[in-house]
Amino acid sequence: MTASSPTSDLLTCPSCGATNRVSEQKRRLKGTVVCGRCRTALETPRRQARPAVVTDATFSAEVERSPLPVLLDLWAPWCGPCRAMASVVEELAGDLTGRVKVAKLNVDDNPRIAARYGVQSIPTLLVLKHGRVVDTLVGAQPKPAILARLSRL
């Protein structure tokens, strides 16, 4: 199996931050996969199905330094469309593991990041690469529309 195999995922080590390429075959044979640098057990995509929770304080580490593109959901708990999008965002986190990092940022608790990107309406989905916005989706979106926008990356 080559490094460019479509059945390989990129997993980030929770301890040292190293990016590890893990094939489906390796996951099946070994069961538990460990980081090549520090030997910490890595969560496989089946267990990594939840979006990361991002704050103003963790934004740089979670989003700007992510080796993967990031789909960032800017939401608030009082927002009806945001709550409706929550299940779609959860599904995307599981479906895109290893290809796109899915994260959520509560704009009420973290106004600095929302202001930095000029977010005036929620829900807003930002697609970021190395901390730079490459696409923006405003309002509740169906899962196929989000996947179509992400496929252009």
Tens place of pLDDT for every residue, the chain, 153 residues? 344 445 677 888 877 888 888 877 776 666 678 888 998 887 755 544 689 999 999 999 999 999 999 999 999 999 999 999 999 999 999 888 888 999 999 999 999 999 999 999 999 999 999 889 999 999 999 999 999 999 887
Whether 82 is a known active-site residue: answer: yes
Whether 79 is a known active-site residue: answer: yes
The DSSP symbol for 82 reads: H
Question: Which one of the listed residues 13, 35, 38, 79 is annotated catalytic?
Answer: 79
Question: Which one of the listed residues 16, 35, 38, 82 is annotated catalytic?
Answer: 82
Threshold 0.85, pTM exceeds: no
CA distances, 70 to each of 32, 36, 74, 86 (Å): 25, 23, 12, 16
Sorted by where each starts, the structural domains of the chain and their CATH numbers stand as 8-42 (no CATH), 52-151 (3.40.30.10)
